[in-house]
C-alpha cells in the first residue's frame, strides 16, 4: 500500500471531525517507528547503557508532536492515528517510569500513581469509545504534563547530574525534598504529576458530560478548543 499524503484541496476528509480509514499514512508510520523504540529503550536501560537508553527515549519523546502535526497539515488524520498516537505516548510513559523504578531512581508511589492513571485513561477511553461512541481528545495541559514527564524521565535515565536535596524532610520516598542528592529530572516529574491531577479531572468531567449528552440524544457536543488530538 502506498503511504497516503493528500493535500486538503484533493481530499476534504482527513481532519478532526472526518478522519480517514487509511493505515499507512506518514503520520502513522512515524507512530509505528516510535512504538518500536519503546522496547529498544527498555532493553538498553536494563542492560546498563544509560546514555544510549536516554538517546532512544528522548528521540521517541521528542518526535511526539511530528505525527500529529503531519496528519493535520497534510489532511491525513486517520482513525488509527487518533488511537495509535496517544497509545504510544502512554506506553512510552509507562515503560519510562517502570524503567527508572527498576534501576532504583524513583520511589514506588510515583510508579503506582503514573501507571494507575495511564492505565485508567486507556481503559476509560476504550470504554467510552466502544460503549457510547464518545471520544475525549487530549488537551494542551495534558501534552505539557506528558512533556514534563518525558524530560524528567530522560534526565533520570541519564542519571546526571545529581543535585542536592532541599532538606525539607528526612523521608526517603520524597527525593528532592529530603537532603539526599537526586537527579534534577525529579522536579519535572513533580510538575507533571500536578498537571496530571488537573487533566484527569477534566477528562473525567468531559467524558461524563458527553455520555449524558448521548443519553439525551444530543450528538452535537464537541470537545473544548484546547484539543490537540489527531
The terminus-to-terminus CA distance of the chain in angstroms comes to: 22
- Average pLDDT over the chain reads 85
Q: Which residue has the higher pLDDT, 16 or 73?
A: 73
Question: Exposed, middle or buried: residue 93 (CB in 10 Å: 0-12, 13-18, 19+)?
Answer: buried
Return the closest-CA partner of residue 107 out of 192, 182, 197, 196: 182
Which of 160, 129, 146, 133 lies closest to 63, judged by CA? 146
Strand partners, 169: 178
In the block, cell 498537571 appears at: 195
Rounded to an integer, the average pLDDT of 34-51 is 94
Q: What stretch of H or E contains 32?
A: helix 26-46
The class (CATH top level) of 26-215 is mainly alpha
**Would the pLDDT of 73 be above 70?**
yes
pLDDT of residue 13: 60
> Among candidates 142, 118, 111, 20, which has minimal Cα distance to 74?
20
Instruction: Mean pLDDT check: name the lowest of 5-19, 146-160, 164-178, 194-208.
Output: 5-19
Phi/psi at 227 (nearest 5 deg)? -65, 140
Q: What is the pLDDT of residue 9?
A: 45
Mean pLDDT of 51-59: 94
What would the mean pLDDT of 49-58 be, rounded to a whole number?
A: 94
Domain ranges of the chain: 26-215
Q: Write the burial class of residue 15 (CB in 10 Å: 0-12 exposed, 13-18 middle, 19+ buried).
A: middle
Helical (H) or strand (E) element with 158: helix 140-158
Contacts (Cβ under 8 Å, ≥6 apart) of 169: 177, 178
Q: What is the mean pLDDT of residues 79-96?
A: 85
* Residue 106: closest CA among 20, 45, 39: 45
pLDDT at 115: 85
Distance CA 172, CA 170 (A): 6
For residue 71, which of 86, 55, 90 has the smallest C-alpha distance? 86
3 pLDDT above the threshold of 70: no
C-alpha cell at 150: 518525558
pLDDT at 70 over 60: yes
Q: What is the mean pLDDT of residues 119-132?
A: 90
Entry pTM = 0.74
Task: Name the residue with higher pLDDT: 222 or 34.
Answer: 34
Amino acid at each position: 500500500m502506498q503511504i497516503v499524503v493528500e493535500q486538503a484541496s484533493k481530499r476534504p476528509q482527513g481532519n478532526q471531525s472526518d478522519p480517514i480509514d487509511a493505515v499507512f499514512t506518514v503520520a502513522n508510520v512515524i507512530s509505528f517507528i516510535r512504538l518500536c523504540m519503546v522496547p529498544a529503550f527498555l532493553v538498553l536501560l536494563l542492560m546498563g547503557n544509560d546514555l544510549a537508553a536516554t538517546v532512544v527515549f528522548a528521540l521517541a519523546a521528542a518526535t511526539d508532536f511530528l505525527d500529529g502535526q503531519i496528519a493535520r497539515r497534510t489532511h491525513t488524520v486517520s482513525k488509527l492515528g487518533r488511537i495509535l498516537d496517544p497509545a504510544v505516548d502512554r506506553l512510552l510513559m509507562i515503560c519510562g517510569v517502570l524503567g527508572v523504578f527498576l534501576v532504583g531512581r524513583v520511589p514506588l508511589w510515583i510508579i503506582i500513581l503514573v501507571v494507575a492513571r495511564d492505565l485508567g485513561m486507556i481503559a476509560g477511553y476504550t470504554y467510552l469509545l466502544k460503549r457510547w461512541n464518545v471520544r475525549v481528545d487530549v488537551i494542551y495541559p495534558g501534552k505539557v504534563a506528558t512533556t514534563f514527564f518525558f524530560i524528567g524521565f530522560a534526565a533520570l535515565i541519564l542519571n546526571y547530574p545529581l543535585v542536592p536535596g532541599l532538606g525539607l524532610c528526612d523521608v526517603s520516598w520524597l527525593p528532592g525534598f529530603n537532603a539526599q542528592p537526586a537527579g534534577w529530572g525529579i522536579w519535572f516529574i513533580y510538575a507533571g504529576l500536578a498537571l496530571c491531577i488537573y487533566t484527569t479531572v477534566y477528562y473525567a468531567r468531559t467524558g461524563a458530560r458527553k455520555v449524558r449528552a448521548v443519553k439525551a440524544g444530543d450528538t452535537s457536543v464537541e470537545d473544548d478548543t484546547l484539543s490537540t488530538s489527531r
